[in-house]
Structure 1
Protein backbone atom coordinates (compact mmCIF):
# COMPACT_ATOMS: atom_id res chain seq x y z
CA UNK A 1 0.00 0.00 0.00
CA UNK A 2 1.29 3.47 -0.87
CA UNK A 3 0.09 7.00 -0.15
CA UNK A 4 0.75 10.02 -2.35
CA UNK A 5 0.24 13.75 -2.00
CA UNK A 6 0.85 16.69 -4.29
CA UNK A 7 2.57 19.85 -3.13
CA UNK A 8 2.09 22.97 -5.23
CA UNK A 9 0.47 26.38 -5.16
CA UNK A 10 -2.97 26.91 -6.64
CA UNK A 11 -2.99 27.31 -10.44
CA UNK A 12 0.18 25.25 -10.73
CA UNK A 13 -1.66 22.66 -12.78
CA UNK A 14 -1.94 20.18 -9.93
CA UNK A 15 -5.35 19.18 -11.27
CA UNK A 16 -3.55 17.42 -14.14
CA UNK A 17 -1.54 15.09 -11.91
CA UNK A 18 -4.46 14.50 -9.54
CA UNK A 19 -6.65 13.49 -12.46
CA UNK A 20 -3.86 11.30 -13.82
CA UNK A 21 -3.56 9.51 -10.50
CA UNK A 22 -7.33 9.08 -10.18
CA UNK A 23 -7.70 7.67 -13.68
CA UNK A 24 -4.75 5.36 -12.98
CA UNK A 25 -6.60 3.76 -10.09
CA UNK A 26 -5.27 5.81 -7.18
CA UNK A 27 -8.02 6.61 -4.67
CA UNK A 28 -7.80 10.39 -4.17
CA UNK A 29 -10.38 10.66 -1.41
CA UNK A 30 -14.05 11.53 -1.66
CA UNK A 31 -15.77 13.70 -2.57
CA UNK A 32 -13.70 15.63 -5.11
CA UNK A 33 -14.51 18.92 -6.83
CA UNK A 34 -13.92 19.80 -10.49
CA UNK A 35 -10.31 20.67 -9.67
CA UNK A 36 -9.84 17.19 -8.15
CA UNK A 37 -9.42 18.73 -4.69
CA UNK A 38 -10.52 16.62 -1.74
CA UNK A 39 -13.58 18.12 -0.05
CA UNK A 40 -14.73 19.55 2.25
CA UNK A 41 -11.70 21.86 2.69
CA UNK A 42 -12.53 23.68 5.93
CA UNK A 43 -10.50 21.43 8.23
CA UNK A 44 -7.47 21.88 5.99
CA UNK A 45 -7.96 25.65 5.99
CA UNK A 46 -8.14 25.66 9.78
CA UNK A 47 -5.02 23.49 9.98
CA UNK A 48 -3.21 26.12 7.89
CA UNK A 49 -4.19 28.76 10.43
CA UNK A 50 -2.95 26.65 13.34
CA UNK A 51 0.48 26.23 11.74
CA UNK A 52 0.65 29.93 10.86
CA UNK A 53 0.74 30.85 14.56
CA UNK A 54 4.30 29.53 14.66
CA UNK A 55 5.60 31.27 11.53
CA UNK A 56 7.64 34.38 12.25
CA UNK A 57 7.51 37.16 9.69
CA UNK A 58 10.84 39.01 9.76
CA UNK A 59 9.76 41.79 7.44
CA UNK A 60 9.72 42.25 3.68
CA UNK A 61 9.81 38.79 2.01
CA UNK A 62 11.53 36.97 4.84
CA UNK A 63 9.93 34.42 7.16
CA UNK A 64 11.34 32.07 9.79
CA UNK A 65 9.87 28.56 9.72
CA UNK A 66 12.56 26.92 11.85
CA UNK A 67 10.29 26.27 14.84
CA UNK A 68 8.05 24.08 12.69
CA UNK A 69 10.76 21.46 12.26
CA UNK A 70 11.38 20.69 15.92
CA UNK A 71 8.43 21.78 18.05
CA UNK A 72 5.70 19.41 19.15
CA UNK A 73 2.90 19.45 16.62
CA UNK A 74 -0.29 20.66 18.33
CA UNK A 75 -2.99 18.05 18.79
CA UNK A 76 -5.43 20.55 17.31
CA UNK A 77 -3.52 20.44 14.03
CA UNK A 78 -3.25 16.65 13.95
CA UNK A 79 -6.96 16.26 14.63
CA UNK A 80 -7.86 18.67 11.83
CA UNK A 81 -5.63 16.89 9.30
CA UNK A 82 -6.91 13.45 10.27
CA UNK A 83 -10.49 14.69 10.00
CA UNK A 84 -9.82 16.23 6.59
CA UNK A 85 -8.15 13.02 5.35
CA UNK A 86 -10.71 10.66 6.89
CA UNK A 87 -11.81 9.11 3.59
CA UNK A 88 -8.18 8.60 2.53
CA UNK A 89 -6.90 7.23 5.83
CA UNK A 90 -9.80 4.80 6.14
CA UNK A 91 -9.52 3.55 2.57
CA UNK A 92 -8.18 0.06 1.96
CA UNK A 93 -7.13 0.95 -1.60
CA UNK A 94 -3.70 -0.31 -2.61
CA UNK A 95 -2.72 3.18 -3.75
CA UNK A 96 -4.30 6.31 -2.31
CA UNK A 97 -3.62 9.99 -1.82
CA UNK A 98 -5.03 13.48 -1.93
CA UNK A 99 -4.65 16.86 -3.53
CA UNK A 100 -5.54 20.36 -2.43
CA UNK A 101 -3.21 23.33 -2.95
CA UNK A 102 -3.43 24.39 0.70
CA UNK A 103 -1.46 21.27 1.65
CA UNK A 104 1.56 23.34 0.64
CA UNK A 105 0.88 25.78 3.48
CA UNK A 106 1.08 22.95 6.02
CA UNK A 107 3.73 20.90 4.26
CA UNK A 108 6.32 20.96 7.10
CA UNK A 109 3.93 19.33 9.55
CA UNK A 110 2.23 17.05 7.02
CA UNK A 111 5.67 15.68 6.22
CA UNK A 112 6.39 15.07 9.89
CA UNK A 113 3.04 13.30 10.34
CA UNK A 114 3.48 11.23 7.18
CA UNK A 115 7.24 10.87 6.61
CA UNK A 116 7.03 7.78 4.41
CA UNK A 117 4.46 8.82 1.82
CA UNK A 118 5.39 9.91 -1.70
CA UNK A 119 5.53 13.65 -2.30
CA UNK A 120 5.13 15.17 -5.75
CA UNK A 121 6.24 18.82 -5.85
CA UNK A 122 4.40 20.35 -8.81
CA UNK A 123 5.91 23.54 -10.20
CA UNK A 124 4.65 26.00 -12.78
CA UNK A 125 6.07 29.25 -14.07
CA UNK A 126 4.91 31.82 -11.52
CA UNK A 127 4.08 34.20 -14.36
CA UNK A 128 1.28 31.82 -15.34
CA UNK A 129 0.36 30.95 -11.75
CA UNK A 130 -0.49 34.53 -10.81
CA UNK A 131 -2.73 35.38 -13.76
CA UNK A 132 -5.92 34.23 -12.04
CA UNK A 133 -7.43 34.39 -8.58
CA UNK A 134 -6.87 31.63 -6.03
CA UNK A 135 -7.94 31.05 -2.44
CA UNK A 136 -4.34 31.44 -1.23
CA UNK A 137 -3.72 34.80 -2.91
CA UNK A 138 -4.15 36.70 0.36
CA UNK A 139 -1.99 34.91 2.90
CA UNK A 140 -3.64 36.97 5.64
CA UNK A 141 -6.66 34.69 5.22
CA UNK A 142 -4.48 31.89 6.57
CA UNK A 143 -2.79 33.90 9.31
CA UNK A 144 0.46 34.69 7.46
CA UNK A 145 1.85 38.24 7.54
CA UNK A 146 3.47 39.74 4.45
CA UNK A 147 4.17 43.18 2.94
CA UNK A 148 1.00 45.15 2.26
CA UNK A 149 0.21 45.78 -1.39
CA UNK A 150 -2.76 46.90 -3.45
CA UNK A 151 -1.31 45.23 -6.55
CA UNK A 152 -3.26 41.96 -6.86
CA UNK A 153 -0.67 40.35 -9.14
CA UNK A 154 2.09 41.26 -6.69
CA UNK A 155 0.00 39.81 -3.87
CA UNK A 156 -0.28 36.54 -5.79
CA UNK A 157 3.44 36.61 -6.57
CA UNK A 158 4.21 37.02 -2.86
CA UNK A 159 1.98 34.04 -2.12
CA UNK A 160 3.83 32.01 -4.77
CA UNK A 161 7.20 33.05 -3.33
CA UNK A 162 6.14 32.31 0.26
CA UNK A 163 5.03 28.80 -0.63
CA UNK A 164 8.13 28.13 -2.71
CA UNK A 165 10.43 29.28 0.10
CA UNK A 166 8.47 27.29 2.69
CA UNK A 167 9.01 24.12 0.69
CA UNK A 168 12.69 24.92 0.20
CA UNK A 169 13.14 25.54 3.94
CA UNK A 170 11.69 22.15 4.86
CA UNK A 171 14.01 19.12 5.04
CA UNK A 172 13.32 16.96 2.01
CA UNK A 173 11.55 13.65 2.70
CA UNK A 174 12.84 10.26 1.58
CA UNK A 175 10.29 9.98 -1.24
CA UNK A 176 10.32 13.21 -3.24
CA UNK A 177 10.07 14.18 -6.90
CA UNK A 178 9.86 17.58 -8.57
CA UNK A 179 7.87 17.97 -11.78
CA UNK A 180 7.35 21.06 -13.89
CA UNK A 181 3.82 21.48 -15.24
CA UNK A 182 5.33 22.58 -18.54
CA UNK A 183 7.19 19.28 -18.88
CA UNK A 184 4.03 17.33 -18.10
CA UNK A 185 2.28 19.16 -20.95
CA UNK A 186 5.05 19.39 -23.54
CA UNK A 187 7.02 16.22 -22.70
CA UNK A 188 4.23 14.08 -21.33
CA UNK A 189 5.59 10.64 -22.19
CA UNK A 190 8.99 11.40 -20.69
CA UNK A 191 7.45 12.95 -17.58
CA UNK A 192 5.01 10.08 -17.08
CA UNK A 193 7.92 7.65 -17.27
CA UNK A 194 9.70 9.55 -14.47
CA UNK A 195 6.55 9.53 -12.36
CA UNK A 196 5.92 5.83 -12.99
CA UNK A 197 9.44 5.01 -11.87
CA UNK A 198 8.97 7.10 -8.73
CA UNK A 199 5.49 5.84 -7.85
CA UNK A 200 5.92 2.25 -8.95
CA UNK A 201 2.60 2.21 -10.80
CA UNK A 202 1.46 2.51 -14.41
CA UNK A 203 -0.08 5.88 -15.24
CA UNK A 204 -2.66 6.72 -17.88
CA UNK A 205 -2.05 9.50 -20.37
CA UNK A 206 -4.68 12.21 -20.04
CA UNK A 207 -5.38 14.91 -22.66
CA UNK A 208 -3.30 18.07 -22.16
CA UNK A 209 -3.47 21.52 -23.73
CA UNK A 210 -0.17 23.01 -24.95
CA UNK A 211 -1.80 26.45 -24.86
CA UNK A 212 -1.76 26.23 -21.06
CA UNK A 213 1.99 26.90 -21.20
CA UNK A 214 3.26 30.51 -21.25
CA UNK A 215 -0.15 32.13 -21.11
CA UNK A 216 1.53 35.16 -19.58
CA UNK A 217 2.88 36.05 -23.01
CA UNK A 218 -0.58 37.05 -24.24
CA UNK A 219 -2.04 38.22 -20.92
CA UNK A 220 -2.58 41.85 -20.01
CA UNK A 221 -0.89 43.39 -16.98
CA UNK A 222 2.29 42.69 -15.04
CA UNK A 223 3.29 39.09 -14.41
CA UNK A 224 6.94 39.40 -13.40
CA UNK A 225 8.48 40.64 -10.15
CA UNK A 226 12.21 40.71 -9.48
CA UNK A 227 12.02 38.64 -6.30
CA UNK A 228 10.79 35.65 -8.35
CA UNK A 229 14.03 35.50 -10.36
CA UNK A 230 16.00 32.99 -8.21
CA UNK A 231 13.21 30.41 -8.32
CA UNK A 232 12.54 31.00 -12.01
CA UNK A 233 16.22 30.61 -12.79
CA UNK A 234 16.40 27.38 -10.77
CA UNK A 235 13.59 25.79 -12.78
CA UNK A 236 14.63 27.12 -16.16
CA UNK A 237 11.99 29.77 -16.73
CA UNK A 238 12.59 32.81 -18.91
CA UNK A 239 13.61 35.92 -16.98
CA UNK A 240 13.09 39.36 -18.57
CA UNK A 241 16.34 40.95 -19.69
CA UNK A 242 18.34 37.70 -19.61
Structure 2
Protein backbone atom coordinates (compact mmCIF):
# COMPACT_ATOMS: atom_id res chain seq x y z
CA UNK A 1 0.00 0.00 0.00
CA UNK A 2 1.38 3.41 -0.99
CA UNK A 3 2.16 5.79 1.83
CA UNK A 4 0.18 9.01 1.89
CA UNK A 5 1.73 12.41 2.42
CA UNK A 6 -0.01 15.48 3.68
CA UNK A 7 1.03 17.98 1.03
CA UNK A 8 0.21 18.21 -2.62
CA UNK A 9 2.16 18.70 -5.83
CA UNK A 10 4.30 21.80 -6.37
CA UNK A 11 2.16 24.17 -8.49
CA UNK A 12 5.27 25.98 -9.79
CA UNK A 13 6.41 22.90 -11.69
CA UNK A 14 6.08 22.75 -15.50
CA UNK A 15 5.82 19.06 -16.42
CA UNK A 16 5.08 17.81 -19.92
CA UNK A 17 2.59 14.95 -20.29
CA UNK A 18 1.75 12.87 -23.35
CA UNK A 19 -1.46 10.85 -23.57
CA UNK A 20 -3.66 9.21 -26.18
CA UNK A 21 -5.78 6.21 -26.92
CA UNK A 22 -3.51 3.16 -26.87
CA UNK A 23 -1.95 2.41 -30.24
CA UNK A 24 -1.85 6.04 -31.42
CA UNK A 25 1.94 6.20 -31.79
CA UNK A 26 2.90 7.90 -28.53
CA UNK A 27 6.17 5.97 -28.33
CA UNK A 28 7.76 8.11 -31.05
CA UNK A 29 6.61 11.31 -29.32
CA UNK A 30 8.29 10.15 -26.10
CA UNK A 31 11.50 9.51 -28.03
CA UNK A 32 11.33 12.93 -29.66
CA UNK A 33 10.94 14.59 -26.26
CA UNK A 34 13.82 12.57 -24.83
CA UNK A 35 15.87 13.74 -27.81
CA UNK A 36 14.84 17.30 -27.01
CA UNK A 37 16.27 16.97 -23.50
CA UNK A 38 13.17 16.10 -21.47
CA UNK A 39 13.57 13.54 -18.68
CA UNK A 40 10.71 11.08 -19.29
CA UNK A 41 11.20 8.76 -16.33
CA UNK A 42 13.48 6.06 -15.00
CA UNK A 43 11.20 3.03 -15.21
CA UNK A 44 10.00 2.76 -18.80
CA UNK A 45 8.65 -0.25 -20.67
CA UNK A 46 9.43 -1.05 -24.31
CA UNK A 47 6.68 1.37 -25.40
CA UNK A 48 8.31 4.18 -23.36
CA UNK A 49 5.36 4.22 -20.93
CA UNK A 50 6.33 5.65 -17.54
CA UNK A 51 5.62 2.75 -15.16
CA UNK A 52 5.76 4.96 -12.07
CA UNK A 53 2.74 6.78 -13.49
CA UNK A 54 1.02 3.56 -14.54
CA UNK A 55 1.29 2.06 -11.07
CA UNK A 56 -0.36 5.08 -9.46
CA UNK A 57 -3.01 6.10 -11.96
CA UNK A 58 -4.06 3.24 -14.26
CA UNK A 59 -6.66 1.94 -11.80
CA UNK A 60 -10.41 2.39 -11.99
CA UNK A 61 -10.40 3.39 -8.32
CA UNK A 62 -8.47 6.53 -9.22
CA UNK A 63 -11.66 8.04 -10.69
CA UNK A 64 -13.25 8.18 -7.23
CA UNK A 65 -10.19 9.23 -5.24
CA UNK A 66 -10.74 12.31 -3.04
CA UNK A 67 -8.58 15.29 -4.01
CA UNK A 68 -6.18 14.76 -1.12
CA UNK A 69 -5.49 11.13 -1.98
CA UNK A 70 -5.13 11.91 -5.68
CA UNK A 71 -2.72 14.76 -4.97
CA UNK A 72 -0.69 12.54 -2.65
CA UNK A 73 -0.14 10.07 -5.48
CA UNK A 74 0.73 12.91 -7.83
CA UNK A 75 3.20 14.39 -5.35
CA UNK A 76 4.85 10.99 -4.97
CA UNK A 77 5.17 10.69 -8.73
CA UNK A 78 6.51 14.24 -8.98
CA UNK A 79 9.15 13.49 -6.36
CA UNK A 80 10.39 10.44 -8.25
CA UNK A 81 10.42 12.35 -11.54
CA UNK A 82 12.28 15.37 -10.22
CA UNK A 83 14.85 13.20 -8.46
CA UNK A 84 15.49 11.32 -11.70
CA UNK A 85 15.71 14.57 -13.64
CA UNK A 86 18.34 15.96 -11.27
CA UNK A 87 20.34 12.73 -11.39
CA UNK A 88 20.26 12.81 -15.19
CA UNK A 89 21.40 16.44 -15.21
CA UNK A 90 18.34 17.61 -17.16
CA UNK A 91 16.14 20.69 -16.73
CA UNK A 92 12.71 19.46 -17.83
CA UNK A 93 10.62 16.50 -16.73
CA UNK A 94 7.59 14.80 -18.08
CA UNK A 95 6.08 11.46 -18.95
CA UNK A 96 4.32 9.48 -21.62
CA UNK A 97 1.53 7.12 -20.66
CA UNK A 98 -1.52 6.84 -22.92
CA UNK A 99 -3.93 6.59 -19.95
CA UNK A 100 -2.86 10.06 -18.80
CA UNK A 101 -5.84 11.54 -20.61
CA UNK A 102 -8.23 9.84 -18.18
CA UNK A 103 -7.06 12.02 -15.26
CA UNK A 104 -5.52 14.95 -17.14
CA UNK A 105 -8.21 17.35 -15.90
CA UNK A 106 -7.04 16.87 -12.30
CA UNK A 107 -3.37 17.01 -13.26
CA UNK A 108 -3.78 20.25 -15.23
CA UNK A 109 -5.50 21.75 -12.19
CA UNK A 110 -2.59 20.71 -9.96
CA UNK A 111 0.06 22.20 -12.29
CA UNK A 112 -1.16 25.52 -13.73
CA UNK A 113 1.99 25.88 -15.86
CA UNK A 114 2.16 22.37 -17.31
CA UNK A 115 1.59 21.38 -20.95
CA UNK A 116 -0.32 18.36 -22.23
CA UNK A 117 0.16 16.76 -25.66
CA UNK A 118 -2.72 14.57 -26.86
CA UNK A 119 -1.74 12.43 -29.81
CA UNK A 120 -4.53 11.75 -32.29
CA UNK A 121 -4.59 9.05 -34.94
CA UNK A 122 -7.33 8.54 -37.52
CA UNK A 123 -10.43 7.49 -35.61
CA UNK A 124 -11.38 5.03 -38.36
CA UNK A 125 -7.95 3.41 -38.30
CA UNK A 126 -8.07 3.26 -34.50
CA UNK A 127 -11.44 1.52 -34.65
CA UNK A 128 -9.73 -1.46 -36.30
CA UNK A 129 -6.68 -1.46 -34.04
CA UNK A 130 -5.69 -4.62 -32.20
CA UNK A 131 -4.73 -2.43 -29.25
CA UNK A 132 -8.12 -2.63 -27.54
CA UNK A 133 -7.29 -2.80 -23.84
CA UNK A 134 -7.80 0.88 -23.06
CA UNK A 135 -11.21 1.00 -24.73
CA UNK A 136 -12.27 -2.08 -22.77
CA UNK A 137 -10.78 -0.84 -19.49
CA UNK A 138 -12.16 2.72 -19.52
CA UNK A 139 -14.99 2.32 -22.06
CA UNK A 140 -17.76 1.76 -19.49
CA UNK A 141 -16.74 5.03 -17.78
CA UNK A 142 -16.62 7.13 -20.96
CA UNK A 143 -19.56 5.51 -22.76
CA UNK A 144 -21.68 4.94 -19.63
CA UNK A 145 -22.57 1.41 -20.74
CA UNK A 146 -20.98 -2.04 -20.82
CA UNK A 147 -18.23 -2.72 -23.35
CA UNK A 148 -17.40 -6.20 -24.61
CA UNK A 149 -13.99 -7.76 -24.11
CA UNK A 150 -12.50 -7.34 -26.61
CA UNK A 151 -14.46 -4.35 -27.90
CA UNK A 152 -15.54 -4.41 -31.53
CA UNK A 153 -14.92 -1.65 -34.09
CA UNK A 154 -18.23 0.09 -33.28
CA UNK A 155 -17.30 0.42 -29.60
CA UNK A 156 -13.73 1.39 -30.48
CA UNK A 157 -14.95 4.32 -32.57
CA UNK A 158 -17.51 5.31 -29.96
CA UNK A 159 -14.73 5.35 -27.36
CA UNK A 160 -12.48 7.42 -29.65
CA UNK A 161 -15.22 10.02 -30.15
CA UNK A 162 -16.05 10.17 -26.44
CA UNK A 163 -12.41 10.76 -25.52
CA UNK A 164 -11.98 13.37 -28.25
CA UNK A 165 -15.07 15.26 -27.12
CA UNK A 166 -13.87 15.27 -23.52
CA UNK A 167 -10.32 16.46 -24.25
CA UNK A 168 -11.62 19.10 -26.69
CA UNK A 169 -13.97 20.46 -24.03
CA UNK A 170 -11.17 20.42 -21.47
CA UNK A 171 -8.83 22.29 -23.83
CA UNK A 172 -11.51 24.96 -24.39
CA UNK A 173 -11.80 25.86 -20.72
CA UNK A 174 -10.41 29.36 -20.10
CA UNK A 175 -7.87 28.10 -17.59
CA UNK A 176 -6.52 25.53 -20.06
CA UNK A 177 -6.30 27.53 -23.26
CA UNK A 178 -2.83 27.31 -24.75
CA UNK A 179 -1.95 24.35 -22.51
CA UNK A 180 -3.25 21.43 -24.59
CA UNK A 181 -1.86 20.47 -27.99
CA UNK A 182 -3.57 18.04 -30.35
CA UNK A 183 -0.85 16.38 -32.40
CA UNK A 184 -2.08 14.42 -35.42
CA UNK A 185 -0.09 11.24 -35.95
CA UNK A 186 -0.64 11.16 -39.71
CA UNK A 187 0.62 14.76 -39.99
CA UNK A 188 3.66 13.85 -37.89
CA UNK A 189 4.44 11.05 -40.34
CA UNK A 190 3.81 13.16 -43.44
CA UNK A 191 5.54 16.38 -42.29
CA UNK A 192 7.85 15.29 -39.47
CA UNK A 193 10.12 18.32 -39.23
CA UNK A 194 7.29 20.86 -39.38
CA UNK A 195 5.24 19.00 -36.77
CA UNK A 196 8.24 18.54 -34.47
CA UNK A 197 8.94 22.29 -34.64
CA UNK A 198 5.26 22.95 -33.80
CA UNK A 199 5.49 20.54 -30.87
CA UNK A 200 8.70 22.05 -29.48
CA UNK A 201 7.38 25.61 -29.94
CA UNK A 202 4.27 24.68 -27.96
CA UNK A 203 6.46 23.29 -25.18
CA UNK A 204 8.95 26.16 -25.27
CA UNK A 205 11.85 23.77 -25.85
CA UNK A 206 15.09 24.21 -27.73
CA UNK A 207 16.01 20.81 -29.19
CA UNK A 208 19.16 19.19 -27.84
CA UNK A 209 19.54 17.52 -31.24
CA UNK A 210 18.90 18.80 -34.79
CA UNK A 211 15.25 18.60 -35.79
CA UNK A 212 16.25 16.44 -38.75
CA UNK A 213 17.73 13.91 -36.31
CA UNK A 214 14.51 13.85 -34.32
CA UNK A 215 12.48 13.51 -37.53
CA UNK A 216 14.50 10.40 -38.42
CA UNK A 217 12.91 8.67 -35.42
CA UNK A 218 9.57 8.59 -37.27
CA UNK A 219 8.79 5.63 -39.51
CA UNK A 220 5.23 5.69 -40.94
CA UNK A 221 3.60 2.28 -40.34
CA UNK A 222 1.84 0.24 -42.97
CA UNK A 223 -1.30 0.36 -40.82
CA UNK A 224 -2.06 3.95 -41.83
CA UNK A 225 -5.28 3.78 -43.85
CA UNK A 226 -6.17 0.25 -42.72
CA UNK A 227 -9.85 1.21 -42.40
CA UNK A 228 -10.12 1.22 -46.20
CA UNK A 229 -10.09 -2.58 -46.10
CA UNK A 230 -13.18 -2.74 -43.87
CA UNK A 231 -16.91 -2.18 -44.04
CA UNK A 232 -17.68 1.19 -42.43
CA UNK A 233 -21.42 0.55 -42.24
CA UNK A 234 -20.90 -1.06 -38.82
CA UNK A 235 -20.39 2.35 -37.21
CA UNK A 236 -22.91 4.62 -35.54
CA UNK A 237 -23.76 7.36 -38.11
CA UNK A 238 -23.50 9.97 -35.34
CA UNK A 239 -19.90 8.93 -34.64
CA UNK A 240 -19.04 9.07 -38.35
CA UNK A 241 -20.57 12.54 -38.59
CA UNK A 242 -18.58 13.73 -35.56
CA UNK A 243 -15.39 12.31 -37.03
CA UNK A 244 -16.00 14.10 -40.33
CA UNK A 245 -16.38 17.41 -38.46
CA UNK A 246 -13.30 17.05 -36.29
CA UNK A 247 -10.68 15.06 -38.23
CA UNK A 248 -9.28 15.70 -41.68
CA UNK A 249 -9.89 12.91 -44.18
CA UNK A 250 -7.11 10.32 -43.84
> What's the TM-score, normalizing by structure 2?
0.75
| Corresponding residue for residue 45 of structure 1 | 58
The SS at the match of 1:211 is coil
| Aligned with residue 123 of structure 2, among 113, 121, 126 | 126
C-alpha contact (below 8 Å) 1:137/1:156 kept by paired residues: yes
The SS at the match of 2:182 is strand
C-alpha contact (below 8 Å) 1:28/1:96 kept by paired residues: yes
| Corresponding residue for residue 78 of structure 1 | 71
C-alpha contact (below 8 Å) 1:115/1:174 kept by paired residues: no
| Corresponding residue for residue 5 of structure 2 | none
Cα distance, 1:18 vs. partner? 0.9
* Structure 1 residues 173 and 5, CA gap change in structure 2 (3 angstroms): farther
Unaligned runs of 5+ in 2: 1-12
C-alpha contact (below 8 Å) 2:140/2:147 kept by paired residues: no
| Corresponding residue for residue 160 of structure 1 | 160
* Structure 1 residues 237 and 169, CA gap change in structure 2 (3 angstroms): same
C-alpha contact (below 8 Å) 1:38/1:99 kept by paired residues: yes
C-alpha contact (below 8 Å) 1:29/1:85 kept by paired residues: no
Q: Output one character per residue of 1:8-53: Cα deviation in whole Å (capped at 9) or x when no partner.
A: 221121112111111332110111111110014121113x5332x4
Matched, 1:194 2:201: no
Cα distance, 1:167 vs. partner? 0.9
Q: Output one character per residue of 1:85-122: Cα deviation in whole Å (capped at 9) or x when no partner.
A: 44323333212210111110011111101121122121
Matched, 1:175 2:179: yes
Unaligned runs of 5+ in 1: 55-72
| Corresponding residue for residue 105 of structure 2 | 108
Where do residues 90-101 of structure 1 align in structure 2 (5 Å cutoff)? 90=83, 91-92=85-86, 93-101=90-98
C-alpha contact (below 8 Å) 1:118/1:176 kept by paired residues: yes
Please state which structure has a larger fraction of its residues in helix.
2
* Structure 1 residues 185 and 208, CA gap change in structure 2 (3 angstroms): same
> What's the TM-score, normalizing by structure 1?
0.77
C-alpha contact (below 8 Å) 2:136/2:147 kept by paired residues: no
